[in-house]
Structure 1
Amino acid sequence: MNETVTDMADLPMQHPGAPASAAQARARFFNSGNAFNVKLPEVPARLFSPPPEGQFGVFDCDQSEALGSVFAATTPLMLARYVRIAPGDMPLPLDVRATGAVWYVISGSGRLDGAFDGFEFGAGDVFLLPGATGYSLAGGPEGALLWSVGNEPQLAFERAEPAPVVDASIDVVHYPAAEIERQFATIFSTGTREETSGRALIFSSDRQAAARNLTPTLTLSFNTLSPGTWQRSHRHNSAAVTLVVQGEGCHSVVGDAHRPWEPWATLVTPPGAPHSHHNQGAHGARFLIVQDGGLHYHARTMGFAFLEAAR
């Protein structure tokens, strides 16, 4: 008579047999057949639009329901959002519950204040904020529309808090629009190699320059596409959150999905998804990309690869 043997993978989670303390009773055990088959929802490739004119406040690009997350998240480790401030309005209180958050000023102007010397900002500026409470954003005469990405979900996942500003791994950094244009002019005065992934401006700071990151876990690049060109299909293990800054007749292909660009839209590229960007318009295109790339560079898991040959 053949005796049926239970497959190891079918064993349920195991508890300790005779725990002698509360600490021992908390132990749980799996095995090599059932410990690595956790199925998580995929990151959706989605396009978010900015809030309509006349709507003010904070607007998260939230995919938490699709991700099965109990906290707001655009990707498992990043949260993108739009913030619209009314002209002459009371300053908007802002807490950055992240290691750091990058901000891009889409339109208008204003002033940022907080746990450091404040500064004025205008359209086209980029700035970086370390995690802290007590920031405030005030709109200028025309108000302001801003876009931001931070690693709030990464900290929320571990129920962690940002380090105090004096102990933070980054400082406040302001990249004015005029300086960004000066840097672009330098880039466009040079040539490129076949293996170079287009012409892009990579943002960093004095404290993160060795890693060439924006924060220990986030990277920021300002990519460009000349008319009639495309960034050939590629993949990487980091997720990407992209802001369309300018580009008519442009689209992205993410997996099998064709994603036409919309003004100031946010495009989510899932980790590992094949994707490419195309400019079929008559003018140059620009798009700002935040990735959790610093995390993957540190872990040696970026896995960047082109999926088609250069033409």
Structure 2
Amino acid sequence: MSAIPQADVPFDPRSTHAADEAEYFEYTSSANPIGAGLIQRIPFRSFPASLYESGPTRAIVLDLSAELGTPIPATGPSLRAHFLRVLAGERLHLDDVPTTSQLFYVMRGRGEALQGDQRVPFGAGDFVALPGDHTVTIAADEEAALYYVNDAPLLGYLGVAPTGPRFAPTHYPASRVQEELRKVAGDPRAAKRNRVSVLLGNSRFPQTRTVTHVLWAMFGIVPAHAEQKAHRHQSIALDLVVDCQPGCYSMVGELDAQGRSVRETRVDWEPGMVFVTPPGYWHAHYNESDQPALLVPIQDAGLHTYLRSLDIRFTQ
């Protein structure tokens, strides 16, 4: 892969002539950087729960920056995912790289998310969305494990920092999220839907109906002995498996002209793991077990929806 300019290298515009950095390329050989080998596709990758099951308080970055050629740790070109482990009575201060959107899903434990003068209590199964204008501290009353995604790589690529918060700290309690999912799953039409899920929204973003202006979050169920047919979108999906039994998996690939899956990759699920679904690929979920499975995908689909580039499609 060709070297990618590093956005964090200091740049002094006074040191160059106005024409020094200009280049010119023939269109057909350069309009598709992936096809030309100039940039790499987002890779398939899984991150196991064993990364955070033991050890000291810490943040574990799910880092694909070497493959992506990003100047800062990243899980996708615009998103960075983490596992957070915080021991009882301890605090974890998250790095203060510029972000506009920070989303947490509490896998287990109890405590508070602290940002500026805001204190948001959390428990297992809660979601917490925070703006990116202040550093966040996670304080655990009992041992906690959280899944955390932010948009730091996007801001790093753009070379910008937030000028202020776009939304207030927002708490989605587990009891309410699970109640809303039960309503959706209990609808007689649920079995015919491509996904049985609840999307988290914020009243400040009525156009996109997303959890922040950049991030999209879903809390979904794959019922026992169910197949959720393939769909695709242009946003990256960073999928957390909340709970499942053996026999749950995703098939990720492409469709031929007849709508048949080709060049598929199978991703077997395990509780607490995260897997990357790259943009543009068709993906279907299967549950061959006797128990329902729960999934939390987080995407940059808030941004794509606003740009009108999400291009989500469903198989019939």
**DSSP-derived class of the 2:134 partner:** strand
Shift, 1:185, TM fit: 2.7
Q: Is the 8 A contact 1:96 1:132 kept in 2?
A: no
1:176 aligns with 2:184: no
Shift, 1:187, TM fit: 1.9
Q: Which residue of 1 aligns with 2:225?
A: 228
Q: Is the 8 A contact 1:230 1:279 kept in 2?
A: yes
Structure index of larger Rg: 1
Q: Is the 8 A contact 1:61 1:73 kept in 2?
A: yes
Which amino acid is the alignment partner of residue 267 of structure 1?
A: F
Q: Which residue of 2 aligns with 1:185?
A: 182
TM-score by length of 1: 0.85
**DSSP-derived class of the 1:186 partner:** helix
RMSD over aligned Cα atoms: 1.9
Q: Which runs of 5+ in 1 are unaligned?
A: 1-20
**DSSP-derived class of the 1:188 partner:** helix
Shift, 1:25, TM fit: 4.2
Q: Which residue of 2 aligns with 1:280?
A: 288
Q: Is the 8 A contact 1:231 1:277 kept in 2?
A: yes
Listed as ranges, the matches of 1:153-302 within 5 Å are 153-164=153-164, 168-192=165-189, 196-248=193-245, 249-255=247-253, 256-302=264-310
**DSSP-derived class of the 1:133 partner:** coil
In structure 1, what is the Cα distance between the partners aligned to 2:249 and 2:120?
35
Which amino acid is the alignment partner of residue 66 of structure 1?
A: E
Structure 1 segments of 4 or more deviating over 4 A? none
Cα deviation code 1:112-162 (max 9, x no counterpart): 21224202211111010100233211111x321110111111111112112
In structure 2, what is the Cα distance between the partners aligned to 1:200 and 1:56?
32
Of 6, 27, 31, 1:36 maps to 31
TM-score by length of 2: 0.84
**DSSP-derived class of the 2:175 partner:** helix
**DSSP-derived class of the 1:182 partner:** helix
Aligned length: 283
Q: Which residue of 2 aligns with 1:149?
A: 149
In structure 2, what is the Cα distance between the partners aligned to 1:194 and 1:179?
22
Listed as ranges, the matches of 1:63-82 within 5 Å are 63-82=64-83
Shift, 1:26, TM fit: 4.3
Shift, 1:28, TM fit: 3.3
Identity over aligned pairs, percent: 30
Which amino acid is the alignment partner of residue 212 of structure 1?
A: R
**DSSP-derived class of the 1:276 partner:** strand
Shift, 1:286, TM fit: 0.9
Q: Which runs of 5+ in 2 are unaligned?
A: 1-15, 254-263
Q: Is the 8 A contact 1:238 1:291 kept in 2?
A: yes
In structure 1, what is the Cα distance between the partners aligned to 2:186 and 2:180?
10
Q: Choose 290-299 or 31-40, whichever is displaced more.
A: 31-40
